[in-house]
Structure 1
Amino acid sequence: MGEILDLIDMRVVLIAFSFIVIIFIVLVMTLWSKLNKLRKTYMAMLNGESSLNVEDALIELQEKAEALNQRTDSTQQQIAEVVQQLKKMKSHIGIHRYNAFAEGGSDLSFSVAILDEELDGVVLTGIHNRDETYVYAKPITQGQSSYTLSPEEKEAIHRGAHKK
């Protein structure tokens, strides 16, 4: 009787192992099929058989990046040129109005300083009296002039120099 039980137990074990092997074979075949499908898709993508060719796409991206780098360099150079031009623009203006003659009238005389960032430019002065107005221009280099500056002209230069 022990032999029969051993024989039955052996048959059950053999059937169970056979069933497990069949399940594994089906599983391996399913995974093999999916792997082949994935491999075909991968190869098609790399070789350009599909709508996307990775090599061509990478080359195109590299060319676009190089073009963008060149444009960036060009734009940075243009910006540097504009900044240099802005420094030379006479955009700092100082105005000082005053009464040139204490005997009467009002603040009709003026000094106007037109300067760049380096305090180069010109100062214009208009001296107004009852009958006429005289206008003088003096060149300014680094906030100074080769001509004698009046206190009013110095004030106009000072006001123009401190405009931001």
Structure 2
Amino acid sequence: MEERVLEIPTEVVLLMASFIVFVFLVVMIALWVKLNKLRKSYTRMMGGMGDMDMETIVARLQDQWEGQAERSHAMEQELKLIRQRMTSMKSHVGVYRFNAFAETGSDLSFSVAILDDNQSGVVLSGIHSRDNTYLYAKPIEGGTSKYVLTPEEREAITRSSLKG
């Protein structure tokens, strides 16, 4: 048996080797560009954490998360306390103006109800006459008073509940 050796001209071998080197060079440049993008992304993700490893970063983030959870719980408790206090705030105000005496000619008398969510507070009435204005205050509990309420005072109480 005779052995045959392929005879390829040297120019063709050099051309093929050059082509392969060129392809490897293009692949290497593409990989280098991707590596730079990955490096920039990693640096951005690390946010200036320096040379810390991922385990340290995750542990730090977990500590921060636990701190946030504690603060959130404290804020929820404070908000609950504020809501409880708000029900007793006198934030419902109703005003009713009227003419107490037909001969004076204008609505200078008034009733003002200042109540909380439970319809407790005070109703103030100012009766204006030609010479004086008299001011009366009546305590209100649950929308009523132990003193007789005038229709104008009841209207002011009604108007205060409409605003809430």
Give the Cα separation in 2 of the matches to 1:69 and 1:115: 37
- Residue 125 of structure 1 aligns with an amino acid whose one-letter code is S
Question: CA-atom RMSD, angstroms?
Answer: 1.9
Aligned to 1:93: 93
Give the Cα separation in 1 of the matches to 2:129 and 2:93: 24
- TM-score relative to the length of structure 1: 0.67
Aligned to 2:11: none
Aligned to 2:62: 62
Aligned to 2:15: none
Give the Cα separation in 2 of the matches to 1:79 and 1:92: 21
Q: Which is helix-richer, 1 or 2?
A: 1
Aligned to 1:156: 156
- Deviation of 1:122 (Å): 0.4
Give the Cα separation in 2 of the matches to 1:65 and 1:8: 75
Aligned residues: 121
- Residue 160 of structure 2 aligns with an amino acid whose one-letter code is G
- Residue 133 of structure 2 aligns with an amino acid whose one-letter code is T
Q: Which has the larger radius of gyration?
A: 1
Aligned to 2:73: 73
Give the Cα separation in 1 of the matches to 2:60 and 2:52: 12
Give the Cα separation in 1 of the matches to 2:126 and 2:52: 75
- Deviation of 1:63 (Å): 0.9
Q: Is the 8 A contact 2:126 2:134 kept in 1?
A: yes
Unaligned runs of 5+ in 2: 7-49
Q: Is the 8 A contact 2:120 2:141 kept in 1?
A: yes
Give the Cα separation in 1 of the matches to 2:135 and 2:110: 9
Runs of 4+ in 1 over 3 A off after TM superposition: none
Q: Is the 8 A contact 2:123 2:140 kept in 1?
A: yes
Unaligned runs of 5+ in 1: 13-49
- TM-score relative to the length of structure 2: 0.67
- Deviation of 1:55 (Å): 2.4
- Deviation of 1:90 (Å): 1.2
- Deviation of 1:8 (Å): 4.8
Q: Deviations over 1:26-65 (max 9, x none)?
A: xxxxxxxxxxxxxxxxxxxxxxxx9122222222111111
Matched residue SS, 1:162: helix
- Residue 144 of structure 2 aligns with an amino acid whose one-letter code is Q
